[in-house]
Amino acid sequence: MNETAAWSKELTLALLADMLRVRRMEEKAAELYGQQKIRGFLHLYIGEEAIAAGAMRALRPEDNVVATYREHGHALLRGLGMDAIMAEMYGKQQGCSRGRGGSMHLFDREHRFFGGQAIVAAGLPLATGLALADKMQGRAGLTACFFGEGAVAEGAFHEAMNLAALWQLPLLFCCENNRYAMGTALALSQAQTDLCVKAASYGMASLQVDGMDVVAVHEGLKSAAQQVRDKGPVFVELQTYRFRAHSMFDPELYRDKQEVQAWKQRGPIHNFSACLKAQGSLTEDEFLALDSAAQAEVDAAVAFAEAGSWEPVEDLLRDVTTPVSMGGA
């Protein structure tokens, strides 16, 4: 993390604050799920915060962002209000998707955040289409598509990679490799575990980044994003690890507890804050102030969601398309 010496204190504290905001929001979401305030599926990002924090500050407002069902952190740091995110997880109509999407379908057109995709690899064709549209219409901006390494086994991944390379689309592929997908180790599902080799098979530039290090993520994705803007698609493998189970329903029988504890020693928030303190760039009081602000934001978001309202019954068919009868026998 020596590269922080060239950064402004404003940027270093902003990245730390970003990770703390995501962590505290996710911890509260887990608590609320246990209280049955949040229903359905819930996939937590705890342990992976360095990726969303480093990546979102490497992108521009005109860029598109497409994410997976583990997207709370991406949405928050892209600019969606925590109030709207929490209300969406509650299923309230004040949520960013009017309470209809829930945890896995956060969406905000204003911030060019196009989901939240519940199906593995579903965001890849969408991202390809967004990048193609931008190129055809001469718009500025790239499309950053986040997905897990489990998506690499899907046909949609290869189709998206092929078309992006063939048409030289402004597409930044961000693979968050947390090693177990839903619950199967990468080596048990993929014959080739070097994911950058797969990118090379399409003649695409690739980069491997330590996803537990917010400095490495930010610098790596800034460089990759510029390459996309200048030349064409880039594949980035972000090596990371989720500290919690795949989802709140997951009994987590597929990985060793000692392995989890070992990865927690590389926790992105602890290690980054410790580095800043060692460099004299952060005091304990400053850290506590950032953490307190994050917690206050979470408390306010929960209060907003609690006070929110359910969609009226008479609106349940709003935006629902009814098939048109073509007649016949």
Q: Are strands 205-210 and 143-148 parallel, antiparallel or unpaired?
A: unpaired
> What would the pLDDT profile of 64-74 be if each residue is shown by its tens digit?
999 999 999 99
Nearest Cα neighbor of 119 from 99, 106, 104, 98 is 104
The verdict on residue 143 lying in a domain is yes
Do 237 and 264 touch, CB atoms closer than 8 A? no
Other Cβ atoms less than 10 A from the Cβ of 307: the count is 10
The verdict on residue 194 lying in a domain is yes
Domain that holds residue 103: 9-306
Query: For tokens 């629902």, what's the residue?
Result: 320
The verdict on residue 25 lying in a domain is yes
> What would the pLDDT profile of 225-252 be if each residue is shown by its tens digit?
999 999 999 999 999 999 999 999 898 8
For residues 326 and 12, the model is more confident at: 12
The verdict on residue 322 lying in a domain is no
The verdict on residue 2 lying in a domain is no
pTM exceeds 0.75: yes
Per-residue pLDDT, averaged over 132-142, amounts to 96
Q: Helix (H, G, I), strand (E, B), or coil: what is residue 303?
A: helix
Using CB atoms within 10 Å of the CB of residue 70, give its burial: 0 to 12 exposed, 13 to 18 middle, 19+ buried.
buried
Q: What is the CATH number of the domain that holds 202?
A: 3.40.50.970
The verdict on residue 56 lying in a domain is yes
The verdict on residue 79 lying in a domain is yes
Alpha helices in 35-154 (DSSP H): 49-56, 72-78, 82-90, 123-136
Do 70 and 43 touch, CB atoms closer than 8 A? yes
The verdict on residue 329 lying in a domain is no
Q: Helix (H, G, I), strand (E, B), or coil: what is residue 292?
A: helix
Q: For residue 54, report the phi and psi dihedrals to the nearest 5 degrees.
A: -70, -35
Do 27 and 294 touch, CB atoms closer than 8 A? no
Number of domains in the chain: 1
* Partners of 205 in the β-ladder: 234
Give CA–CA dist 103/181, Å, rounded.
Answer: 18
> What would the pLDDT profile of 80-90 be if each residue is shown by its tens digit?
999 999 999 99
